[in-house]
Structure 1
Amino acid sequence: MDFKKFSELIMIEQTLFALPFAYLGILFAGGGDFITWIWATIALFAARTAGMSFNRYIDRVIDAKNPRTSGRALPAGAMKPGDVLMLGVGSSALLVVSALMLNSLCFYLSFPAIVLLYTYSYFKRFTSASHFYLGIVEAAAPVGGYLAVTGEFDMLPFILGAVILFWIAGLDVVYAILDVDFDRKEGLFSIPARLGKEKALAISIACYVLATGLLALAGFMTARGIPYWAAVFSTAIIFYRQQSLARHDDPAAAIHEFFLLNRFVSPVLFAGTFVDVFFK
Protein backbone atom coordinates (compact mmCIF):
# COMPACT_ATOMS: atom_id res chain seq x y z
CA MET A 1 0.00 0.00 0.00
CA ASP A 2 1.66 3.23 -1.12
CA PHE A 3 1.36 6.46 0.86
CA LYS A 4 -0.92 8.17 -1.67
CA LYS A 5 -3.50 5.38 -1.50
CA PHE A 6 -3.19 5.25 2.28
CA SER A 7 -3.66 9.01 2.68
CA GLU A 8 -6.69 9.00 0.38
CA LEU A 9 -8.22 6.05 2.23
CA ILE A 10 -8.02 7.64 5.67
CA MET A 11 -8.45 11.22 4.39
CA ILE A 12 -5.20 12.17 6.10
CA GLU A 13 -5.89 15.89 5.89
CA GLN A 14 -8.95 15.38 8.10
CA THR A 15 -6.85 13.33 10.53
CA LEU A 16 -4.39 16.21 10.83
CA PHE A 17 -7.20 18.65 11.50
CA ALA A 18 -8.75 16.28 14.06
CA LEU A 19 -5.56 16.12 16.15
CA PRO A 20 -6.12 19.52 17.80
CA PHE A 21 -9.31 18.22 19.39
CA ALA A 22 -7.33 15.66 21.37
CA TYR A 23 -4.82 18.39 22.17
CA LEU A 24 -7.68 20.60 23.38
CA GLY A 25 -8.47 17.98 26.01
CA ILE A 26 -4.81 17.83 27.03
CA LEU A 27 -4.66 21.62 27.39
CA PHE A 28 -7.82 21.81 29.49
CA ALA A 29 -6.30 19.14 31.75
CA GLY A 30 -3.29 21.36 32.40
CA GLY A 31 -1.01 20.64 29.46
CA GLY A 32 0.52 17.27 30.32
CA ASP A 33 4.10 16.36 29.48
CA PHE A 34 5.89 15.66 26.20
CA ILE A 35 5.41 11.88 26.38
CA THR A 36 1.67 12.31 26.89
CA TRP A 37 1.46 14.44 23.74
CA ILE A 38 3.37 11.82 21.75
CA TRP A 39 1.25 8.85 22.81
CA ALA A 40 -1.99 10.83 22.51
CA THR A 41 -1.01 11.74 18.95
CA ILE A 42 -0.30 8.11 18.10
CA ALA A 43 -3.56 7.01 19.71
CA LEU A 44 -5.66 9.49 17.75
CA PHE A 45 -3.90 8.71 14.48
CA ALA A 46 -4.48 4.99 15.08
CA ALA A 47 -8.13 5.58 15.97
CA ARG A 48 -8.77 7.67 12.85
CA THR A 49 -7.04 5.09 10.65
CA ALA A 50 -9.03 2.25 12.20
CA GLY A 51 -12.31 4.13 11.92
CA MET A 52 -11.81 5.17 8.30
CA SER A 53 -10.61 1.69 7.32
CA PHE A 54 -13.63 0.01 8.87
CA ASN A 55 -15.95 2.61 7.34
CA ARG A 56 -14.53 2.18 3.85
CA TYR A 57 -14.59 -1.63 4.16
CA ILE A 58 -18.16 -1.82 5.46
CA ASP A 59 -19.51 0.75 2.98
CA ARG A 60 -17.65 -0.48 -0.11
CA VAL A 61 -20.78 -1.85 -1.83
CA ILE A 62 -22.87 1.24 -1.07
CA ASP A 63 -20.01 3.53 -2.13
CA ALA A 64 -19.81 1.76 -5.49
CA LYS A 65 -23.45 2.65 -6.20
CA ASN A 66 -23.15 6.32 -5.26
CA PRO A 67 -21.70 8.55 -8.01
CA ARG A 68 -20.21 10.84 -5.33
CA THR A 69 -18.22 8.02 -3.70
CA SER A 70 -17.67 5.53 -6.52
CA GLY A 71 -14.16 6.88 -7.10
CA ARG A 72 -12.96 5.90 -3.63
CA ALA A 73 -10.15 3.35 -3.39
CA LEU A 74 -12.23 0.21 -2.76
CA PRO A 75 -15.08 0.79 -5.25
CA ALA A 76 -12.53 1.87 -7.86
CA GLY A 77 -10.47 -1.30 -7.30
CA ALA A 78 -7.35 0.63 -6.26
CA MET A 79 -7.12 -1.34 -2.99
CA LYS A 80 -8.14 -4.81 -1.85
CA PRO A 81 -10.87 -5.16 0.80
CA GLY A 82 -8.75 -7.59 2.81
CA ASP A 83 -5.86 -5.13 2.96
CA VAL A 84 -8.13 -2.36 4.19
CA LEU A 85 -9.67 -4.62 6.83
CA MET A 86 -6.23 -5.67 8.08
CA LEU A 87 -5.21 -2.02 8.24
CA GLY A 88 -8.21 -1.40 10.48
CA VAL A 89 -7.32 -4.34 12.73
CA GLY A 90 -3.66 -3.32 12.95
CA SER A 91 -4.58 0.28 13.73
CA SER A 92 -6.95 -0.92 16.45
CA ALA A 93 -4.08 -2.84 18.04
CA LEU A 94 -1.89 0.27 17.90
CA LEU A 95 -4.67 2.26 19.58
CA VAL A 96 -4.79 -0.24 22.45
CA VAL A 97 -1.00 -0.18 22.89
CA SER A 98 -0.77 3.61 22.84
CA ALA A 99 -3.67 3.88 25.31
CA LEU A 100 -1.85 1.46 27.62
CA MET A 101 1.23 3.69 27.47
CA LEU A 102 -0.89 6.62 28.67
CA ASN A 103 -2.64 5.12 31.70
CA SER A 104 -4.87 2.25 32.78
CA LEU A 105 -8.13 4.18 32.34
CA CYS A 106 -7.27 5.02 28.73
CA PHE A 107 -6.34 1.37 28.16
CA TYR A 108 -9.69 0.09 29.43
CA LEU A 109 -11.60 2.71 27.42
CA SER A 110 -9.75 1.86 24.21
CA PHE A 111 -11.89 -1.27 23.78
CA PRO A 112 -15.31 0.44 23.77
CA ALA A 113 -13.69 3.11 21.58
CA ILE A 114 -12.89 0.45 18.98
CA VAL A 115 -16.49 -0.75 19.13
CA LEU A 116 -17.64 2.81 18.39
CA LEU A 117 -15.22 3.07 15.47
CA TYR A 118 -16.37 -0.21 13.98
CA THR A 119 -20.13 0.20 14.40
CA TYR A 120 -20.71 3.74 13.10
CA SER A 121 -21.15 2.67 9.48
CA TYR A 122 -24.01 0.35 10.39
CA PHE A 123 -26.11 3.03 12.09
CA LYS A 124 -27.15 4.81 8.91
CA ARG A 125 -28.72 1.55 7.82
CA PHE A 126 -31.42 1.75 10.49
CA THR A 127 -31.55 5.19 12.16
CA SER A 128 -31.47 8.84 11.16
CA ALA A 129 -29.61 9.55 14.41
CA SER A 130 -26.40 8.27 12.80
CA HIS A 131 -25.15 11.88 12.57
CA PHE A 132 -25.10 12.05 16.35
CA TYR A 133 -23.45 8.65 16.63
CA LEU A 134 -20.65 9.95 14.42
CA GLY A 135 -20.46 12.95 16.75
CA ILE A 136 -20.03 10.61 19.72
CA VAL A 137 -17.20 8.81 17.92
CA GLU A 138 -15.41 12.09 17.21
CA ALA A 139 -16.11 13.36 20.74
CA ALA A 140 -13.79 10.68 22.08
CA ALA A 141 -10.81 12.82 20.98
CA PRO A 142 -10.99 15.63 23.58
CA VAL A 143 -12.29 13.23 26.24
CA GLY A 144 -9.36 10.92 25.59
CA GLY A 145 -6.89 13.81 25.56
CA TYR A 146 -8.11 14.99 28.95
CA LEU A 147 -8.08 11.51 30.48
CA ALA A 148 -4.59 10.90 29.08
CA VAL A 149 -3.34 13.60 31.46
CA THR A 150 -5.54 13.09 34.51
CA GLY A 151 -6.34 9.38 34.40
CA GLU A 152 -9.68 10.06 36.07
CA PHE A 153 -13.20 11.11 35.12
CA ASP A 154 -14.48 14.65 35.47
CA MET A 155 -17.35 16.69 34.03
CA LEU A 156 -15.14 19.00 31.95
CA PRO A 157 -13.91 16.48 29.34
CA PHE A 158 -17.48 15.45 28.61
CA ILE A 159 -18.45 19.09 28.05
CA LEU A 160 -15.57 19.34 25.58
CA GLY A 161 -16.72 16.08 24.03
CA ALA A 162 -20.25 17.45 23.69
CA VAL A 163 -18.84 20.44 21.79
CA ILE A 164 -17.41 18.07 19.19
CA LEU A 165 -20.49 15.84 19.24
CA PHE A 166 -22.87 18.65 18.29
CA TRP A 167 -20.49 20.32 15.87
CA ILE A 168 -19.80 17.09 13.96
CA ALA A 169 -23.48 16.11 14.00
CA GLY A 170 -24.48 19.49 12.61
CA LEU A 171 -21.75 19.26 10.01
CA ASP A 172 -22.72 15.74 8.96
CA VAL A 173 -26.37 16.74 8.59
CA VAL A 174 -25.34 19.37 6.03
CA TYR A 175 -23.07 16.89 4.27
CA ALA A 176 -25.94 14.39 4.03
CA ILE A 177 -28.01 16.88 2.02
CA LEU A 178 -25.83 15.99 -0.97
CA ASP A 179 -26.99 12.36 -0.77
CA VAL A 180 -30.71 12.79 -0.12
CA ASP A 181 -31.88 11.22 -3.38
CA PHE A 182 -29.39 8.35 -3.15
CA ASP A 183 -30.18 7.63 0.51
CA ARG A 184 -33.91 7.49 -0.16
CA LYS A 185 -33.39 5.22 -3.14
CA GLU A 186 -31.13 2.82 -1.21
CA GLY A 187 -33.17 2.88 1.99
CA LEU A 188 -30.42 4.56 4.01
CA PHE A 189 -31.28 6.82 6.92
CA SER A 190 -30.34 10.45 7.40
CA ILE A 191 -32.05 13.52 8.80
CA PRO A 192 -32.23 15.29 5.41
CA ALA A 193 -33.64 12.17 3.74
CA ARG A 194 -36.27 11.82 6.46
CA LEU A 195 -37.22 15.43 7.20
CA GLY A 196 -36.17 17.37 4.12
CA LYS A 197 -33.60 20.11 3.65
CA GLU A 198 -35.21 22.94 5.63
CA LYS A 199 -35.85 20.95 8.81
CA ALA A 200 -32.42 19.35 8.51
CA LEU A 201 -30.78 22.78 8.34
CA ALA A 202 -32.75 23.90 11.40
CA ILE A 203 -31.38 20.91 13.32
CA SER A 204 -27.88 21.64 12.04
CA ILE A 205 -27.95 25.24 13.23
CA ALA A 206 -29.29 24.12 16.63
CA CYS A 207 -26.31 21.78 16.90
CA TYR A 208 -23.91 24.61 16.06
CA VAL A 209 -25.51 26.89 18.65
CA LEU A 210 -25.19 24.16 21.29
CA ALA A 211 -21.54 23.59 20.37
CA THR A 212 -20.79 27.31 20.70
CA GLY A 213 -22.62 27.52 24.01
CA LEU A 214 -20.71 24.55 25.40
CA LEU A 215 -17.40 26.12 24.34
CA ALA A 216 -18.43 29.16 26.36
CA LEU A 217 -19.42 26.98 29.32
CA ALA A 218 -16.03 25.24 29.29
CA GLY A 219 -14.36 28.65 29.22
CA PHE A 220 -16.34 29.95 32.19
CA MET A 221 -15.75 26.77 34.19
CA THR A 222 -11.98 27.08 33.82
CA ALA A 223 -11.67 30.89 33.89
CA ARG A 224 -10.09 31.06 30.44
CA GLY A 225 -8.52 34.30 29.25
CA ILE A 226 -8.69 36.55 26.20
CA PRO A 227 -6.88 34.21 23.75
CA TYR A 228 -9.41 31.45 24.37
CA TRP A 229 -12.40 33.76 24.04
CA ALA A 230 -10.98 35.23 20.84
CA ALA A 231 -10.78 31.68 19.47
CA VAL A 232 -14.37 30.95 20.51
CA PHE A 233 -15.57 34.17 18.85
CA SER A 234 -13.66 33.31 15.66
CA THR A 235 -15.17 29.83 15.68
CA ALA A 236 -18.66 31.30 16.03
CA ILE A 237 -18.02 33.46 12.96
CA ILE A 238 -16.90 30.37 11.01
CA PHE A 239 -20.03 28.53 12.14
CA TYR A 240 -22.22 31.43 10.99
CA ARG A 241 -20.58 31.50 7.57
CA GLN A 242 -20.93 27.73 7.21
CA GLN A 243 -24.62 27.86 7.98
CA SER A 244 -25.05 30.64 5.43
CA LEU A 245 -23.35 28.49 2.81
CA ALA A 246 -25.54 25.51 3.71
CA ARG A 247 -28.58 27.54 2.73
CA HIS A 248 -27.28 28.08 -0.78
CA ASP A 249 -29.76 27.08 -3.49
CA ASP A 250 -27.15 24.65 -4.81
CA PRO A 251 -25.42 23.05 -1.76
CA ALA A 252 -23.05 21.11 -4.00
CA ALA A 253 -21.67 24.38 -5.38
CA ALA A 254 -21.04 25.78 -1.89
CA ILE A 255 -19.74 22.60 -0.26
CA HIS A 256 -16.08 23.25 -1.18
CA GLU A 257 -15.98 26.53 0.74
CA PHE A 258 -18.03 24.95 3.54
CA PHE A 259 -15.39 22.29 4.17
CA LEU A 260 -12.52 24.69 3.55
CA LEU A 261 -13.83 26.78 6.43
CA ASN A 262 -14.19 23.61 8.48
CA ARG A 263 -10.43 23.13 8.42
CA PHE A 264 -9.93 26.31 10.43
CA VAL A 265 -12.09 25.33 13.41
CA SER A 266 -9.75 22.95 15.23
CA PRO A 267 -6.51 24.95 14.62
CA VAL A 268 -8.19 28.17 15.79
CA LEU A 269 -9.52 26.59 18.99
CA PHE A 270 -6.23 24.84 19.66
CA ALA A 271 -4.13 27.96 19.09
CA GLY A 272 -6.31 30.13 21.32
CA THR A 273 -6.36 27.56 24.12
CA PHE A 274 -2.62 26.83 23.82
CA VAL A 275 -1.72 30.51 24.15
CA ASP A 276 -4.17 30.90 27.02
CA VAL A 277 -2.73 27.94 28.94
CA PHE A 278 0.98 28.55 28.44
CA PHE A 279 1.38 32.29 27.90
CA LYS A 280 -1.21 34.14 29.96
Structure 2
Amino acid sequence: MVLKQTKTFAELVKFEHSIFALPFAYTGSFLAAGGFPGFWKFAWITIAMVGARSAAMGFNRLIDRVIDAKNPRTADRHLPRGLISPRQVLIFSLAGFGALGMAIWQLSPRHMIYLPLLVFILICYSYTKRFTPYCHLVLGLAIAFAPLGGWIAVRQQSSLAALLLSATVGSWVAGFDIIYAIQDIDFDRSYGVHSIPADYGINAALWWSRGLHSLSVLFLVMIYKLLPLGFLYLVGIIMAAGLLCYEHLLISPRDFSRINVAFFNVNGLISMIVFVFTLLDLLS
Protein backbone atom coordinates (compact mmCIF):
# COMPACT_ATOMS: atom_id res chain seq x y z
CA MET A 1 0.00 0.00 0.00
CA VAL A 2 2.80 2.42 0.95
CA LEU A 3 4.73 1.62 -2.21
CA LYS A 4 1.62 2.15 -4.30
CA GLN A 5 0.95 5.53 -2.68
CA THR A 6 4.58 6.54 -3.14
CA LYS A 7 4.38 5.65 -6.82
CA THR A 8 1.12 7.59 -7.17
CA PHE A 9 2.61 10.77 -5.69
CA ALA A 10 5.80 10.37 -7.76
CA GLU A 11 3.65 10.14 -10.89
CA LEU A 12 1.49 13.06 -9.75
CA VAL A 13 4.45 15.46 -9.56
CA LYS A 14 6.42 13.86 -12.41
CA PHE A 15 9.35 13.12 -10.10
CA GLU A 16 11.56 12.22 -13.06
CA HIS A 17 11.40 15.86 -14.18
CA SER A 18 13.63 16.75 -11.22
CA ILE A 19 16.46 16.21 -13.70
CA PHE A 20 15.74 19.69 -15.08
CA ALA A 21 16.53 21.76 -11.97
CA LEU A 22 18.38 19.47 -9.53
CA PRO A 23 21.66 19.29 -11.53
CA PHE A 24 21.73 23.10 -11.66
CA ALA A 25 21.31 23.29 -7.87
CA TYR A 26 24.29 20.97 -7.61
CA THR A 27 26.18 23.09 -10.15
CA GLY A 28 25.63 26.18 -8.01
CA SER A 29 26.88 24.44 -4.88
CA PHE A 30 29.92 22.89 -6.59
CA LEU A 31 30.92 26.22 -8.15
CA ALA A 32 30.56 27.96 -4.78
CA ALA A 33 32.70 25.32 -3.08
CA GLY A 34 35.21 24.96 -5.90
CA GLY A 35 34.50 21.23 -5.78
CA PHE A 36 32.40 18.88 -3.67
CA PRO A 37 30.57 20.92 -0.99
CA GLY A 38 30.50 18.07 1.53
CA PHE A 39 28.08 15.23 2.10
CA TRP A 40 25.69 16.98 4.50
CA LYS A 41 25.33 20.10 2.42
CA PHE A 42 24.83 17.94 -0.67
CA ALA A 43 22.15 15.90 1.14
CA TRP A 44 20.27 18.95 2.46
CA ILE A 45 20.41 20.66 -0.94
CA THR A 46 18.84 17.53 -2.41
CA ILE A 47 16.11 17.53 0.26
CA ALA A 48 15.43 21.23 -0.34
CA MET A 49 15.10 20.72 -4.10
CA VAL A 50 12.93 17.62 -3.89
CA GLY A 51 10.71 19.25 -1.27
CA ALA A 52 10.32 22.52 -3.18
CA ARG A 53 9.63 20.87 -6.50
CA SER A 54 7.20 18.32 -5.07
CA ALA A 55 5.28 21.05 -3.24
CA ALA A 56 5.17 23.34 -6.27
CA MET A 57 4.00 20.58 -8.60
CA GLY A 58 1.47 19.35 -6.05
CA PHE A 59 -0.08 22.81 -5.73
CA ASN A 60 0.02 23.20 -9.51
CA ARG A 61 -2.00 20.01 -9.95
CA LEU A 62 -4.37 21.08 -7.17
CA ILE A 63 -4.94 24.60 -8.49
CA ASP A 64 -5.31 23.47 -12.11
CA ARG A 65 -7.46 20.39 -11.52
CA VAL A 66 -10.58 21.91 -13.09
CA ILE A 67 -8.68 23.13 -16.16
CA ASP A 68 -6.85 19.80 -16.42
CA ALA A 69 -10.16 17.91 -16.39
CA LYS A 70 -11.36 19.86 -19.44
CA ASN A 71 -8.14 19.65 -21.43
CA PRO A 72 -7.97 16.36 -23.43
CA ARG A 73 -4.18 16.24 -22.99
CA THR A 74 -4.35 16.42 -19.19
CA ALA A 75 -7.75 14.86 -18.41
CA ASP A 76 -6.01 11.57 -17.57
CA ARG A 77 -4.06 13.05 -14.67
CA HIS A 78 -4.59 11.75 -11.15
CA LEU A 79 -6.86 14.45 -9.73
CA PRO A 80 -9.27 14.65 -12.70
CA ARG A 81 -9.58 10.85 -12.63
CA GLY A 82 -10.17 10.76 -8.87
CA LEU A 83 -7.16 8.51 -8.23
CA ILE A 84 -6.10 10.82 -5.43
CA SER A 85 -8.04 13.39 -3.40
CA PRO A 86 -7.39 17.15 -3.23
CA ARG A 87 -6.88 16.79 0.53
CA GLN A 88 -4.13 14.21 0.01
CA VAL A 89 -2.39 16.45 -2.53
CA LEU A 90 -2.62 19.43 -0.17
CA ILE A 91 -1.05 17.46 2.70
CA PHE A 92 1.67 16.13 0.38
CA SER A 93 2.45 19.65 -0.89
CA LEU A 94 2.58 21.16 2.60
CA ALA A 95 4.96 18.36 3.62
CA GLY A 96 7.15 19.31 0.67
CA PHE A 97 7.33 22.91 1.85
CA GLY A 98 8.07 21.61 5.33
CA ALA A 99 11.05 19.70 3.95
CA LEU A 100 12.21 22.83 2.12
CA GLY A 101 12.01 24.89 5.33
CA MET A 102 13.86 22.25 7.34
CA ALA A 103 16.61 22.11 4.71
CA ILE A 104 17.01 25.89 4.63
CA TRP A 105 17.25 25.91 8.42
CA GLN A 106 20.01 23.31 8.31
CA LEU A 107 21.91 25.00 5.48
CA SER A 108 21.56 28.69 6.35
CA PRO A 109 19.21 29.61 9.21
CA ARG A 110 19.44 33.36 8.60
CA HIS A 111 17.94 32.87 5.14
CA MET A 112 14.73 31.40 6.59
CA ILE A 113 13.33 34.92 6.27
CA TYR A 114 13.02 34.30 2.52
CA LEU A 115 10.99 31.10 2.87
CA PRO A 116 7.57 32.85 2.62
CA LEU A 117 8.69 34.59 -0.58
CA LEU A 118 9.85 31.29 -2.07
CA VAL A 119 6.57 29.60 -1.17
CA PHE A 120 4.60 32.51 -2.65
CA ILE A 121 6.47 32.36 -5.98
CA LEU A 122 6.27 28.58 -6.22
CA ILE A 123 2.51 28.66 -5.67
CA CYS A 124 1.55 31.79 -7.60
CA TYR A 125 3.00 30.48 -10.88
CA SER A 126 -0.05 28.28 -11.31
CA TYR A 127 -2.35 31.32 -11.23
CA THR A 128 -0.41 33.50 -13.68
CA LYS A 129 -1.71 31.81 -16.83
CA ARG A 130 -5.16 33.04 -15.86
CA PHE A 131 -4.19 36.67 -16.50
CA THR A 132 -0.84 36.96 -18.35
CA PRO A 133 0.89 35.24 -21.29
CA TYR A 134 4.21 35.74 -19.50
CA CYS A 135 3.53 32.88 -17.08
CA HIS A 136 6.54 31.07 -18.58
CA LEU A 137 8.82 33.78 -17.19
CA VAL A 138 7.35 33.30 -13.72
CA LEU A 139 8.05 29.57 -13.95
CA GLY A 140 11.60 30.40 -15.01
CA LEU A 141 11.96 32.71 -12.00
CA ALA A 142 10.70 29.99 -9.64
CA ILE A 143 13.18 27.40 -10.88
CA ALA A 144 15.99 29.97 -11.09
CA PHE A 145 16.19 29.85 -7.29
CA ALA A 146 17.68 26.33 -7.55
CA PRO A 147 21.29 27.25 -8.41
CA LEU A 148 21.13 30.39 -6.27
CA GLY A 149 20.05 28.30 -3.30
CA GLY A 150 22.83 25.81 -3.97
CA TRP A 151 25.39 28.61 -4.01
CA ILE A 152 24.08 30.30 -0.85
CA ALA A 153 24.03 26.95 0.96
CA VAL A 154 27.81 26.87 0.60
CA ARG A 155 28.87 30.54 0.70
CA GLN A 156 26.02 31.92 2.88
CA GLN A 157 25.73 34.83 0.45
CA SER A 158 25.04 35.46 -3.20
CA SER A 159 27.41 36.67 -5.92
CA LEU A 160 27.32 37.83 -9.53
CA ALA A 161 28.24 34.33 -10.72
CA ALA A 162 25.34 32.82 -8.74
CA LEU A 163 22.92 35.37 -10.19
CA LEU A 164 24.17 34.65 -13.71
CA LEU A 165 23.66 30.92 -13.17
CA SER A 166 20.15 31.63 -11.92
CA ALA A 167 19.51 33.77 -15.00
CA THR A 168 20.76 30.89 -17.12
CA VAL A 169 18.25 28.52 -15.58
CA GLY A 170 15.39 31.04 -15.64
CA SER A 171 15.77 31.85 -19.34
CA TRP A 172 16.34 28.21 -20.27
CA VAL A 173 13.25 26.97 -18.41
CA ALA A 174 11.04 29.78 -19.70
CA GLY A 175 12.23 29.04 -23.23
CA PHE A 176 11.38 25.36 -23.21
CA ASP A 177 8.11 25.94 -21.32
CA ILE A 178 7.01 28.18 -24.21
CA ILE A 179 7.68 25.32 -26.62
CA TYR A 180 5.78 22.90 -24.39
CA ALA A 181 2.76 25.24 -24.28
CA ILE A 182 2.38 25.08 -28.07
CA GLN A 183 0.64 21.72 -27.82
CA ASP A 184 -2.19 23.30 -25.79
CA ILE A 185 -2.67 26.33 -28.01
CA ASP A 186 -6.16 25.42 -29.26
CA PHE A 187 -7.47 24.52 -25.81
CA ASP A 188 -5.90 27.57 -24.19
CA ARG A 189 -7.51 29.91 -26.71
CA SER A 190 -10.93 28.32 -26.35
CA TYR A 191 -10.81 28.22 -22.55
CA GLY A 192 -9.18 31.62 -22.00
CA VAL A 193 -5.87 30.34 -20.66
CA HIS A 194 -2.97 32.66 -21.42
CA SER A 195 0.40 31.70 -22.83
CA ILE A 196 2.79 33.22 -25.34
CA PRO A 197 1.76 30.69 -28.05
CA ALA A 198 -1.96 31.22 -27.38
CA ASP A 199 -1.77 35.03 -27.18
CA TYR A 200 0.86 35.80 -29.83
CA GLY A 201 0.92 32.80 -32.14
CA ILE A 202 3.34 29.97 -32.82
CA ASN A 203 5.91 31.92 -34.85
CA ALA A 204 6.24 34.58 -32.15
CA ALA A 205 6.44 31.87 -29.47
CA LEU A 206 9.30 30.12 -31.24
CA TRP A 207 11.21 33.40 -31.54
CA TRP A 208 10.62 34.08 -27.84
CA SER A 209 12.02 30.65 -27.06
CA ARG A 210 15.06 31.10 -29.32
CA GLY A 211 15.81 34.46 -27.74
CA LEU A 212 15.58 33.14 -24.20
CA HIS A 213 17.76 30.15 -25.01
CA SER A 214 20.33 32.41 -26.64
CA LEU A 215 20.41 34.40 -23.41
CA SER A 216 20.96 31.24 -21.36
CA VAL A 217 24.06 30.39 -23.43
CA LEU A 218 25.31 33.98 -23.11
CA PHE A 219 24.97 33.81 -19.32
CA LEU A 220 26.96 30.56 -19.24
CA VAL A 221 29.72 32.24 -21.24
CA MET A 222 29.72 35.19 -18.82
CA ILE A 223 30.20 32.75 -15.93
CA TYR A 224 33.17 31.26 -17.83
CA LYS A 225 34.70 34.75 -18.04
CA LEU A 226 33.97 35.53 -14.41
CA LEU A 227 35.14 32.37 -12.62
CA PRO A 228 38.42 30.43 -12.94
CA LEU A 229 36.94 27.76 -15.19
CA GLY A 230 38.74 25.97 -17.97
CA PHE A 231 38.43 23.97 -21.15
CA LEU A 232 36.06 21.26 -19.91
CA TYR A 233 33.48 23.79 -18.73
CA LEU A 234 33.72 25.45 -22.15
CA VAL A 235 33.13 22.07 -23.82
CA GLY A 236 30.01 21.65 -21.70
CA ILE A 237 28.72 25.07 -22.81
CA ILE A 238 29.32 24.22 -26.48
CA MET A 239 27.51 20.88 -26.11
CA ALA A 240 24.57 22.55 -24.32
CA ALA A 241 24.35 25.22 -27.02
CA GLY A 242 24.39 22.52 -29.69
CA LEU A 243 21.57 20.65 -27.97
CA LEU A 244 19.51 23.84 -27.73
CA CYS A 245 19.96 24.35 -31.47
CA TYR A 246 18.92 20.73 -32.03
CA GLU A 247 15.85 21.28 -29.82
CA HIS A 248 14.71 24.13 -32.04
CA LEU A 249 15.34 22.11 -35.18
CA LEU A 250 12.93 19.49 -33.84
CA ILE A 251 10.07 22.00 -33.74
CA SER A 252 8.60 23.98 -36.61
CA PRO A 253 5.38 26.00 -37.02
CA ARG A 254 4.00 23.09 -39.05
CA ASP A 255 5.24 20.09 -37.06
CA PHE A 256 4.85 19.73 -33.27
CA SER A 257 5.05 15.94 -33.20
CA ARG A 258 8.46 15.97 -31.51
CA ILE A 259 7.68 18.42 -28.72
CA ASN A 260 7.97 15.72 -26.05
CA VAL A 261 11.40 14.68 -27.36
CA ALA A 262 12.52 18.32 -27.30
CA PHE A 263 11.03 18.93 -23.85
CA PHE A 264 12.00 15.80 -21.92
CA ASN A 265 14.98 14.17 -23.59
CA VAL A 266 16.96 17.15 -24.84
CA ASN A 267 16.46 19.44 -21.84
CA GLY A 268 17.17 16.69 -19.34
CA LEU A 269 20.45 16.04 -21.17
CA ILE A 270 21.35 19.74 -21.19
CA SER A 271 21.14 20.12 -17.41
CA MET A 272 23.20 16.97 -16.87
CA ILE A 273 25.87 18.04 -19.36
CA VAL A 274 26.31 21.46 -17.75
CA PHE A 275 26.62 19.87 -14.31
CA VAL A 276 28.95 17.02 -15.32
CA PHE A 277 31.34 19.18 -17.35
CA THR A 278 31.41 21.84 -14.63
CA LEU A 279 32.24 19.13 -12.10
CA LEU A 280 34.92 17.62 -14.33
CA ASP A 281 36.46 21.05 -14.84
CA LEU A 282 36.52 21.78 -11.10
CA LEU A 283 38.12 18.40 -10.35
CA SER A 284 40.70 18.54 -13.15
TM-score by length of 1: 0.96
Aligned partner letter, 1:25: G
Q: For the residues of structure 1 that align with 2:247 and 2:158, how far apart are their CA atoms?
A: 33
Equivalent position of 1:166 in the other structure: 171
Does the Cα contact within 8 Å between 1:192 and 1:200 map onto a contact in 2?
Answer: yes
Question: Post-superposition shift, 1:200?
Answer: 0.8
Structure 2: stretches of 5+ with no match in the other structure: none
Shift of the 17–153 alpha-carbon distance from structure 1 to 2, 3 Å rule, reads closer
2:260 aligns with one of 245, 256, 260: 256
Alignment check: 8 A CA contact 2:105 2:112 kept: yes
* Structure 2 residue corresponding to 1:102, chosen from 91, 107, 123: 107
Match of 1:42 in 2: 47
Contact 1:105–1:147 under 8 Å retained in 2: no
Of 27, 30, 38, the match for 1:27? 30
1:220 matched residue in structure 2:
225
- CA 1:273–1:105: 2 relative to 1, 3 Å: farther
Residues 185 and 197 in structure 2, CA contact (< 8 A), matched pair in contact too: yes
Give the drift of 1:17.
4.0
The equivalent residue for 1:78 is 83
Per the alignment, residue 7 of structure 1 pairs with 10
Superposed counterparts of 1:172-211, under 5 Å: 172-211=177-216
The letter of the residue matching 1:266 is S
Contact 1:231–1:269 at 8 Å: present in 2 too?
yes
* Preserved CA contact (<8 Å) 1:74 1:80: yes
Q: What amino acid is the match of 2:157?
A: E
Does the CA contact (< 8 Å) of 1:167 and 1:208 recur in 2?
yes
Q: Which amino acid aligns with 1:111?
A: P
Letter in structure 1 aligned against 2:65: R
Q: Secondary structure of 2:80's match?
A: coil
What residue identity is the alignment partner of 1:213?
L
Query: What is the one-letter code of the residue matched to 1:182?
Result: F
Work out whether 1:239 is the aligned partner of 2:250. no
Letter in 1 for 2:189: R
Amino acid at match of 1:124: K
Q: Do the aligned residues in 1 keep the contact of 2:171 with 2:213 (CA within 8 Å)? A: yes
Q: Secondary structure at the match of 1:167?
A: helix
Task: Structure 1: state its 5+ residue gaps.
Answer: none
Deviation of 1:262 (Å): 1.5
Query: What amino acid is aligned across from residue 82 of structure 2 in structure 1?
Result: G
Map Cα deviations across residues 40-60 of structure 1 (whole Å, 9 max, x no partner): 000000001100000000000
Q: 143-152 or 10-19, which moves further after superposition?
A: 10-19
Q: Which residue of 1 aligns with 2:60?
A: 55
Structure 1 residues 143-162: Cα deviation after superposition (integer angstroms, max 9, x where no partner): 00000001112221111000
Aligned-residue identity in percent:
37
Equivalent residues of 2:148, 2:166 under 8 A apart: yes
1:132 and 2:131 correspond: no
Task: Report how far residue 5 of structure 1 moved.
Answer: 0.8
Aligned to 1:114: 119
The residue type equivalent to 2:276 in the other structure is A
Structure 1 residue ranges (4+ consecutive) displaced by more than 3 angstroms after TM superposition = none
2:51 pairs with 1:66: no
